[in-house]
Structure 1
């Protein structure tokens, strides 16, 4: 880069670190358009300017924030250059990640233990590291339908289903709100406010890509409104987004299964036993060498002999990493319409319709075909015996599993443990999803006078449906494979004997045609609901009007997942799954009150109390009541102090309740494996568990049995939030805000296989060890990961936000923001035979499933706006973490983004052009040994590479 480039990089980095850095110009004060576009469908501002802001249904001054809310509007999103609102929200310091386009999970890992499936191609938001299911997503104050990705029944919203062109702004409430909105709002609420008024046409086109020459993206947004001045107000629009993939082979960090590998012949391991030339583990009675592989691949039709084999070494393992995506391809097309019709002076009819289609893809290495007792498939592949008369069997004896295909003992003694063969002849496994979303709402609202006071009412109906289809190429029918590996005499008709022993290239197309099949999966979720609300004031207190809100809500959820019939029959060679179907409904009543006790008095510029209560009756989870109370005090006009106590509630999702048994191939290190160098008490405990000396874990991925549980109870939480906002009168347009949060969840729904395995080996805890099944050779055949209300979560931290903007001048304005989140504590409480144990997550990387818990994240912006030009410099800081399952530190990262903008108001009313670079200094993510794929945490760090983009915008 040279001396100038080095100085530029250092100077910009120091400046951004000192002043702050942010993903967007997010603010803790509402943008000016908040008064025109309130956060509830039926929330027109009154003459006094009061509106409904996220976190309450009572109208108030939008500047009177008694709760910690972050606002991200259209301009903020545009300044990031990102193609999804989800990616913008995941950069908030309070966000813990969630699914996004950097997750390539499909057949690589199977179905995580939450019943929701892998969520391939979906985008989610997670606040406070509590999981996306504990963050409620609303659209104009109403619930949105949950996701579908044809792999399960998720309990979270897919933000990819919401067209960006319809978004006016996003309000993020960083406080529990179950008493206001019901289930799921334990960590907070994301309320997407849509455009209800727009004059004319707004169109934008953005093109981008990585300087490595890949990851090309297109983003086209269009919206039009009739001005919104008459009785009929219309806003319509659409968008088209296309993201091209980045192959894992094209980034150094992801070319091998371990970030620090350059070869599979490394004690660190990570490469697969599903090798090109096969790995065969037999008992000495078959071959005294026991663990062997072919010396060289043999031509098709040639049967190997024992002389063609040699001892297996790590160098023979298969590097599956280059076949994956480090950024998955995606194509989204969406449209929306927002209509308001005034039916009278105090009566309005509103309707919203959203349609979206997503096409996404994932890719994995060619199928690792594992058979034998140690294979860990959980189906008949583990019970296959390879007959001595099979023309490709090189050993002259039947390789016995000891079982019939139906699982019953066959009376014979097992003489082999494992055969692994990478079916490269079939090409990579390819997963193609198509997801269609339809969502509509209708609202009738108005106001009336009662006892000299204004009251507002609204009645809402909503319907949402998500339908997903997935096609999978590269799977094998286990029943056909068993027939093709059995006696040649039984392989007749269409059957073709299968050569699992011949090495790469020995499987012919005829063999593949008989054993392979195209997998077709489907899933669907539906939501319909009805709600009615009324709000107003009933008395005047010394500080203002005593406001109340009352309401009723009914919701009905249905969901289903239908895997391919071959997979459902237990005959797939990839991830097993069974059909899932279920539903539930809920009736809720709520009440809310806001009591301004004092105002405009010494030491009591304002003092108000607020409270809310909600009663929920679930058809599957019983009934519960939640409460929230808070205080908002301004001792002087420059200082606001606030605090709240909230009770949270999360009902189990359809997937958690009704999810059928499946498998999660989780990347876990067995502490008893020789490559982990077990010593001392660990070595002693491994011997007690029956693990032989010198045992080596076959594969980095261990089979975890996943399943829902109809006996699950709802999660419950208690949260405390205390904050202060200081806006000094002597420094206009400056504010500093601090918010402390403390959340405790009990009966948390969990299935933590990694913690179970570690606790079993470290302490021989009988509860943990009962969930771990080992074979006679010491290999882990399965870890039980069935969901239960077994854990607790305690977390606390501090948000610290600073904002300042200069007064308008001839040179423009300069804005500075700094948003920080400090994670003080994050404890997972797990059961043991003696009671409970505490796992501290703060400052660690959990590993598969990937989740970092940095103690500090910072995000801010330096934004200069001139008359017709603007410049934005952003940076993002993530403090270092250490892997909890490996001795590896993920060093801190500081990303820098820059954007230059030009406008030409005289052309087409308003023409804008922007050029930007994200990750200006090409910072790679830190390497992670235990992360699930591509050797880094995709929910925390950027894709390696410098992203460049250009955008043009026209307003007419």
Structure 2
């Protein structure tokens, strides 16, 4: 533990000792009836509050605000926040393109996550009614993030977003902030909700829900059922993706092409009087079939003769039209909440939820890469092709140990890759809560047990068995001895597609599954301690026990390395946590409150951790509150980070000669490229470089320091005036610093640093080696470690104004803005990540400014609301663009600019429509003007950043709510 942490922990422990006499005094007072105060529990503290403005910044989205967004999922709501960073959502068609990320959490296909402060979804704690929600399974790993789409919007009363660290209050993961989703607990009557929406390019969205509730003298109950269906939108329906030669980050395309790419050497062919296969590739063919070829004709003396020509960037395959802009999803959910008063001081509460999601991702037909240049690190790299293969037009053995580079072939006749997810979430909570008195002091308490499970399966269609590929391409006599095996034709292009028998032999369906379980037991107490003047000191304390269990069972073909898609190893592990915390609020002056909290955690995986928090709330005048917090945080490594072992398709631009732009390398890299064995004419075969990555059982927790300071101004001169009913202005500064950040190295930055340092012999060059023939990078290892430090700071601005009642209606306006002042991530080797404020990299951006502004008008039963969402301009490094002459990066330009973007949403509502009391009709459009996201040259799928921007085109919707 760091010395400053020890000091803060000691100070807080001393404050606990100083309060003990007060507690004893409270116990000795005469017993009186406890006072009933108008108190509430606000996210970020366990102490019930009477102040409208607390020491910590909390943004609340109540039911009315949620309805005005026009979206129907918790994930979509949260990702529109100005403090939100990149997170998975339905716009990411992620399966089949990226492999498994380094954190062992899987791809998360079909899920929606929440990121705050650009620190990642793993550093945001998701609560439901103040209790942890189970992490997602994703069917491809053991994740450290929650899928917020497992919580139907129909059951949500409000969402509270704590924009501050809170590990001392809630434990691990609450570094960047906390999202607390408050469910409906009391509801009398019935409510039917229906919704239909559609994008300009399709993607119908249908939602329906039923909410029933009632109450009696001693009980209350709420029941909800909901159904949600989102249909897909093909990338091919968007002009930007459907170009024959894309003009974006997909411009580089793929070398896995339908016509086939063939890289090999004929040892008997003399070149300039010299025969043999040299290591630098001078005597090698790199050819592809001419379009329209039905019968391949090869001339060994003329690579560009017969039906072949030299492969170039113009031959690359545009995979984008096969992807999805919007992934289809169906969700069915049941929810119930029951409260029963056992007596006047004790209540039993039970809550249960079942949610099922089915979703689908789609990717271009699986490319076949065989030969040592394939760079998979597995069986495919060892495949040789026999001269006796009846379809081999070259008349020679293609030997992986000598004269064979690779064959890449994308058999479009097989059909696209399909990934279907089926995810079940079960949540059960039972507990007691109540109150008791000690003397004249009132105390609230609660005890809870929670069992929650998220389990998923993913079925992958139209993949290949690499072991069968090897057999079908090898000696035909060996193939003939195996039932079902027939020689495989990778040589005929689209003019001679693979036969159905060939496809059936090598094609395989793969099924992966994963499961996460969280069992939690907790007990809390909060109440008054002693009087300080005319005010009362308060406290909260509690204990919690959690047990996490995670399983990941990849398909046997993935485990054996026989899957053409990706390698993955199984995980089955668990750990437990025991915690105790306490929190205090001291009103030391009539206008000043001081707060303190400390939490002690004992993990079965790494040991103990102690975190503390301190804050103040000062109200020097009635109109003004000044507040601040300092908090220590930590994030324990999750099961995927500890034990996962997977393969990741990292997108790398090789400075020795990028895809579609062969060398020579830039002067700063030339010596390093030569030392590594990349020839001067080297061209990178593919931008997706297979990387072996995964967990590390020796990981330590991440540690963080966070502080906020802000002011809330509610001027009396703006209250009950002819022009204003109420006016509130809020300004907050935040600062987060994380040490020991769990991450893999930034391979792009590391590779460039290595080459600048000479290419060999340095620590930064350890992961990189090259194939001695041709110079392509071999798969690097890049495992997780406590490698990084991350720093970010910025400002939040919030403004709310409510106008008075005028004869023509009532106006209201609000604004939320986030200004990111700085963001830097540096690894342990001193390499600075390319991710910075104003930079687009790795399919994500950190805009300097994000602003949401709302304007509303209400008159009787009618209301109209307008929202503008502004995203500041960012720029992407042209050095990351696969093709040097791509639009926006011509003429030595260093950056390509993605201009600022504003999306406008509008909604009109009519209450008690058609004189039917309880009926509300709403019609609206998000991105009403059809603003398209800016073109991104480096984004890997559809040419835009799906984590930052809306889908292209407007989304129109109609909803009806009937309450009776």
Residue in structure 1 matching 2:838, options 816, 840, 844: 844
Q: How does 1:355-504 map to 2 (within 5 A)?
A: 355-402=354-401, 414-492=402-480, 493-504=483-494
CA distance in 2, matches of 1:864, 1:763: 62
CA distance in 2, matches of 1:453, 1:314: 77
Q: Deviations over 1:273-327 (max 9, x none)?
A: 1111100111252765610112356659x89775443322222221111000011
**CA separation of 1:708/1:779 partners in 2, compared to 1, >3 Å: closer, same or farther?**
same
Q: Deviations over 1:882-905 (max 9, x none)?
A: 114353111110111111111117
Query: In 1, are the aligned partners of 2:411 and 2:497 still within 8 Å (CA)?
Result: no
**CA separation of 1:758/1:314 partners in 2, compared to 1, >3 Å: closer, same or farther?**
same
Alignment pair present for 1:953 and 2:961: yes
Aligned to 1:652: 637
Alignment pair present for 1:922 and 2:930: yes
Aligned to 1:771: 767
Aligned to 2:119: 130
Return the offset for 1:220.
Answer: 1.1
Query: In 2, are the aligned partners of 1:303 and 1:392 still within 8 Å (CA)?
Result: no
CA distance in 2, matches of 1:840, 1:285: 44
Q: Deviations over 1:826-866 (max 9, x none)?
A: 0101232xxx2444633334433x22111111012001111
CA RMSD of aligned residues (A): 1.9
Residue in structure 2 matching 1:237, options 224, 230, 250: 224
Aligned to 2:47: 58
Return the offset for 1:682.
Answer: 2.4
CA distance in 2, matches of 1:905, 1:699: 59
**CA separation of 1:284/1:398 partners in 2, compared to 1, >3 Å: closer, same or farther?**
closer
SS in 1 for 2:716: coil
Residue in structure 1 matching 2:657, options 660, 673, 676: 673
CA distance in 2, matches of 1:565, 1:620: 28
Aligned to 1:702: 689
SS in 2 for 1:783: coil
Q: How does 1:537-552 map to 2 (within 5 A)?
A: 537-542=528-533, 544-552=535-543
Return the offset for 1:935.
Answer: 1.2
Residue in structure 2 matching 1:858, options 847, 851, 856: 851
CA distance in 2, matches of 1:289, 1:193: 65
Query: In 2, are the aligned partners of 1:257 and 1:270 still within 8 Å (CA)?
Result: no
Return the offset for 1:500.
Answer: 1.1
* Count, aligned residues: 882
Structure 1: unaligned runs, 5 residues or longer: 1-44, 403-413, 600-605
Q: Deviations over 1:16-58 (max 9, x none)?
A: xxxxxxxxxxxxxxxxxxxxxxxxxxxxx98321111100011
SS in 2 for 1:772: coil
Return the offset for 1:779.
Answer: 1.2
Residue in structure 2 matching 1:723, options 690, 693, 710: 710
**CA separation of 1:764/1:332 partners in 2, compared to 1, >3 Å: closer, same or farther?**
farther
Query: In 1, are the aligned partners of 2:662 and 2:682 still within 8 Å (CA)?
Result: no
Aligned to 1:278: 260
CA distance in 2, matches of 1:303, 1:495: 26
Task: Provide TM-score, normalisation by structure 1.
Answer: 0.90
Residue in structure 2 matching 1:102, options 76, 91, 96: 91
SS in 2 for 1:807: coil
Q: Deviations over 1:891-938 (max 9, x none)?
A: 110111111111117845311111111111111111112223111111
SS in 2 for 1:79: helix
CA distance in 1, matches of 2:363, 2:644: 24
Query: In 2, are the aligned partners of 1:667 and 1:931 still within 8 Å (CA)?
Result: no
Q: How does 1:153-192 map to 2 (within 5 A)?
A: 153-192=142-181
Return the offset for 1:795.
Answer: 0.7
CA distance in 1, matches of 2:433, 2:454: 28
**CA separation of 1:617/1:314 partners in 2, compared to 1, >3 Å: closer, same or farther?**
same
SS in 2 for 1:112: coil
Q: Deviations over 1:758-787 (max 9, x none)?
A: 322334482221112321222122232211
Query: In 2, are the aligned partners of 1:293 and 1:310 still within 8 Å (CA)?
Result: yes
Alignment pair present for 1:829 and 2:826: yes
Q: How does 1:223-622 map to 2 (within 5 A)?
A: 223-226=211-214, 228-255=215-242, 260=247, 269-285=251-267, 290-296=285-291, 307-402=306-401, 414-492=402-480, 493-504=483-494, 505-542=496-533, 544-599=535-590, 606-622=591-607
Query: In 2, are the aligned partners of 1:286 and 1:397 still within 8 Å (CA)?
Result: no
**CA separation of 1:764/1:829 partners in 2, compared to 1, >3 Å: closer, same or farther?**
farther
Query: In 2, are the aligned partners of 1:289 and 1:311 still within 8 Å (CA)?
Result: no
CA distance in 2, matches of 1:417, 1:83: 51
CA distance in 2, matches of 1:879, 1:591: 42
CA distance in 2, matches of 1:943, 1:46: 53
Query: In 1, are the aligned partners of 2:198 and 2:957 still within 8 Å (CA)?
Result: yes
CA distance in 2, matches of 1:789, 1:936: 31
Return the offset for 1:260.
Answer: 2.1
CA distance in 2, matches of 1:719, 1:269: 41
Q: Deviations over 1:492-533 (max 9, x none)?
A: 232111111121243101011111111111111100010011
Structure 2: unaligned runs, 5 residues or longer: 1-33, 270-282, 301-305, 720-725, 882-894
Q: How does 1:1-12 map to 2 (within 5 A)?
A: none
CA distance in 2, matches of 1:254, 1:427: 19
